[in-house]
């Protein structure tokens, strides 16, 4: 029997390793190439987004007009959040639940406002407030009633529109829009409203953080409300 030399035994093994490495190289190369192409595409997409031109003034105005048209028909909704109010010498905060069904409003305030839980109702017949002692008070408007019973002046009639990101109708106003055609700032009724954040709720972009401030010169005395902060945690809207 012919004895195989150690070189003969070593050569096929070495050759096999070379072929395996070559095959592995051929497999890795396309993968690296594909990875490079994907990375390049992602980089180009990011650059395109980063350097996208801002919308034109005409586009922003069109978006705003369309937004107003859609939101003006939204008359059934519910929001939950936190409300804070401040005057020169006092302040309070409360949990807020506001339900609207067309012309009927139910506002629940719970927290340290001197009366515990307060429920405020307003409809076509007027406004009524019930406190935590089950005492009921009446007035022609919710704003008047809240002021008479708590001493705090909150522009509820206008706030009914502001919480949607709209100016109140039939009242002079000035506004500034963001790039999405949404209210960024609003001056109306002696108040300045800043819309600090929006959130997507169903088919609508609705405010989630609102800061409202009145010029102290417009307040009759130091007990009148000067600042209102509203943080909305939850929206429920009726889809038309």
Each residue's pLDDT tens digit, 81-95: 999 988 877 788 899
Q: Is residue 118 part of a domain?
A: no
Q: Kindly report the CATH number assigned to the domain that includes residue 82.
A: 2.50.20.10
Q: How far apart are CA 118 and CA 108, in angstroms?
A: 6
* Residue 64 and residue 1 in one domain: no
**pLDDT at position 222:** 45
* Residue 2 and residue 42 in one domain: yes
Q: Is residue 72 part of a domain?
A: yes
- For the entire predicted model, the pTM comes to 0.75
Pair 109, 96: CB distance under 8 Å:
yes
Q: Is residue 116 part of a domain?
A: no
Q: Is residue 63 part of a domain?
A: yes
Q: How far apart are CA 140 and CA 223, in angstroms?
A: 22
**pLDDT at position 123:** 95
* Residue 68 and residue 89 in one domain: yes
Q: What is the mean pLDDT of residues 39-47?
A: 58
CA 233 to chain centre: 9
Would strands 191-201 and 227-237 be described as parallel, antiparallel, or unpaired? unpaired
Q: How many domains does the chain have?
A: 2
* Residue 162 and residue 227 in one domain: yes
Each residue's pLDDT tens digit, 169-179: 988 999 999 99
**pLDDT at position 117:** 87
* Residue 38 and residue 91 in one domain: no
DSSP label of 165: T
Residue 5 domain boundaries: 1-52
CA 203 to chain centre: 13
- Listed residue (189, 192, 204) closest to 235, CA to CA: 204
CA 184 to chain centre: 12
The least confident of 2-16, 81-95, 210-224 is: 2-16
pLDDT band for 2, please (50, 70, 90 cuts): very low
**pLDDT at position 218:** 53
**pLDDT at position 234:** 96
């Amino acid at each position: 029997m012919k004895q195989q030399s150690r070189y003969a035994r070593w050569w096929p093994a070495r050759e096999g390793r070379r072929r395996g490495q070559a095959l592995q190289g051929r497999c890795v190369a396309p993968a690296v190439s594909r990875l490079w192409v994907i990375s390049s595409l992602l980089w180009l997409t990011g650059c395109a987004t980063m350097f996208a031109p801002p919308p034109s003034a005409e586009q922003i105005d069109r978006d705003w007009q369309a937004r107003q048209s859609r939101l003006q028909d939204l008359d059934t909704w519910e929001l939950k959040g936190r409300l804070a109010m401040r005057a020169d010498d006092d302040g309070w905060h409360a949990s807020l639940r506001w339900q609207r069904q067309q012309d009927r409003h139910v506002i629940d305030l719970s927290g340290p406002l001197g009366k515990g839980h307060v429920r405020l109702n307003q409809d076509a017949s007027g406004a009524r407030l019930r406190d935590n002692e089950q005492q009921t008070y009446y007035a022609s408007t919710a704003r008047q009633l809240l002021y008479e019973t708590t001493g705090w002046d909150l522009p509820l009639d206008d706030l009914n529109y502001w919480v949607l990101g709209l100016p109140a109708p039939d009242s002079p106003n000035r506004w500034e829009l963001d790039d999405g055609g949404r209210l960024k700032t609003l001056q109306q009724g002696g108040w300045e409203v800043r819309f600090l954040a929006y959130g997507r709720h169903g088919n609508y972009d609705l405010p989630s953080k609102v800061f409202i401030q009145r010029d102290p010169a417009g307040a009759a005395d130091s007990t009148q409300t000067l600042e209102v902060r509203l943080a909305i945690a939850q929206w429920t809207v009726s889809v038309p």
